[in-house]
Amino acid sequence: MPLHRNSQSAAVAVKRRLAADVDFIALVELREDIFFMHTTLAGKRIVVGVTGSIAAFKVAGWVSNLAKEEARVAVMMTDSACRFVAPLTFAALSGERVHTSLFTQEGADVISHIQLAREADLVVIAPATAHTIARLAHGLADDLLSCTVLATRAKVLVCPAMNSQMYSHPAVQENIEKLKGYGCQVLTPESGRMACREEGPGRLPEWEQAREVMLQILAVPDLTGEKILITAGPTREPLDPARFLSNRSSGKMGYALARTAKRRGAEVILISGPTKLACPPGVSCVQVETAREMEEAVLEHCHQASVVIKAAAVSDFRPAMHFAEKVKKEQAELQLTLEQTTDILKELGRRKKKAGFLLVGFAAESQNHTAEGAKKLKNKNLDLIAINDIGSAHTGFEADTNQVTLLDKNGSSPLPLVSKEQTADLIWDHVVRMLEKKDKE
C-alpha cells in the first residue's frame, strides 16, 4: 500500500502486522512521498543446499542470478555435491566461503548449521537428490545440510532432480509427501530429456520458475482468499487464413499483474490473447485468440471472481467478412468493412453489482489522460481505472516500464515511472485498500 512519507511509522506498523516473525518485506522508496511494499530477493539471506545430482551445475546459475539480484547467498554442499561441482565455483559466484562440513575448526562461538539456520530467510535445497529427500523426510541429522534444515524456522524449498524412474518410485513420492506434510514447499520437476537420455519428469526447472516460487514464498500474502480474474494481451481478428487485425499489446502488464497477485496469495485466472509470454507458475491460464473468445471466457469465469482486472487490449473492431481462402493480390480493390466487437468491460460493469466483484479497467490514452479516464470510469461503471500514457517510449505497449495514474471515485493518484511489476504491486496495494473498505461497508 502506498504510504506517505509522514506516515513512516504507519509503514512500520503495517510491516509488523503483515510479517510478524520474518523481516521479508522490502519497503521501497519510489518517490519522495510514496513508499510501497514490493517483494524482492535483494537483501534476503538465501541458504542454498546443493546435493549430488548431475543438475548441480544448473544451480551454479541460480546462485549467480541470486547474487545479481543482490540476495545474500550462503551455499552448503554435501560430500557428493562436491564431486559434481567444485566448492570454489559456488564461492566465486556467491562471494562467500562455501560450507561443506558439519564439524569445522572455527571458533567455539560459531556453530555453522545453527548460524545458517538462524540467518536464513529461505533455505533452498537444489538440486535435491532422492537420497537427501529421504534423509530429510526421516529427520536424519548426520551432515551440515540436514542439521540446518532441522534447525531452521525459515521456509524450506526442496527442488527434486533425478532420473524419472527414480522420481516416480513410490519411496521417493512418499518421502516428498512427508516433506510437504512438514511444511516444506516442493518445486515440481519438469518433464523432458534427461542427462541419462531418458524422457520424463525429474528435470530441475529453469531459474525463472525457481525465482518466481522463491518470491511467492517470501511475499506478504495480503491477497489470500481472493479469486482474481485478469485479462492480458491483444486479440486477433482474422480476415483470411493468413491475415488478421490486431494491436501492439505485448501482454506484459497483465502478466505482471497475474504474477504479483499469485505471489501475494491470490487464486489467479489469466485469460490471455496471443503473446510470447509464459504462463506464470501457479496461475491458471486460458489462451484465447479473438475478441469473441475473450468475451466468452471472461463471462464464463467472472462470477467466481472477487476482483476482475481487464488489462487486455481487446480489438474494438473485426473484419465484417472472414474469407475462407487467402485473399489474392489481384483483389487489391477490396474495401475492408469493419464491425464493432462487444465492449467486454462495459458488459462486466453491468454485471458487477449482482456478481459482487470489484472491477478495474485500463485506459490507453495519448492525450487528456485524466479526463478520458474519468469518462471511462463512469461510463463503464468501474471501481478503479489505471490510465496508461502510451505516448512515451517508457510506458504503455511493449515497454518494460510503465507510468499510470490510478483514478477512482475518491480522486486520482499518479504513480511514478517504474517497472511493470512494480506498477502491478502498486495497483494491488490500492486494490487491497479498496477490498478492506468494501469489507467494512
Ligand X SMILES: Cc1cc2nc3c(=O)[nH]c(=O)nc-3n(C[C@H](O)[C@H](O)[C@H](O)COP(=O)(O)O)c2cc1C
Catalytic residue among 147, 196, 279, 302: 196
CB closer to ligand X, 162 vs 427: 162
The least CB distance from residue 134 to ligand X, in Å, is: 9
Q: Which residues bind ligand X (CB under 6 A)?
A: 51-55, 78, 80-81, 129-132, 161-162, 166
Q: How many CB atoms lie within 10 A of CB 296?
A: 16
In angstroms, the CA 13 to CA 4 distance is 13
Residue with cell 502478466: 255
CB closer to ligand X, 161 vs 364: 161
The least CB distance from residue 51 to ligand X, in Å, is: 3
In angstroms, the CA 396 to CA 379 distance is 22
**302: annotated active-site residue:** no
Nearest C-alpha neighbor of 220 from the set 40, 413, 76: 40
CB closer to ligand X, 51 vs 112: 51
The dihedral built from the CA positions of residue 325, 330, 334 and 340, taken in this order, carries a sign that is positive
The least CB distance from residue 81 to ligand X, in Å, is: 5
In angstroms, the CA 367 to CA 57 distance is 51
Q: Does residue 321 contact residue 307 with C-beta atoms inside 8 Å?
A: no
Q: Does residue 186 contact residue 227 with C-beta atoms inside 8 Å?
A: no
CB closer to ligand X, 203 vs 263: 203
In angstroms, the CA 150 to CA 140 distance is 9
Q: Counting runs of H as helices and runs of E as strands, what totals does the chain give?
A: 15, 23
In angstroms, the CA 173 to CA 165 distance is 11
The least CB distance from residue 47 to ligand X, in Å, is: 16
CB closer to ligand X, 77 vs 217: 77
- Burial class from Cβ neighbours inside 10 Å (0-12, 13-18, 19+) for residue 323 reads middle
The least CB distance from residue 179 to ligand X, in Å, is: 14
Q: Please list the active-site residues.
A: 196
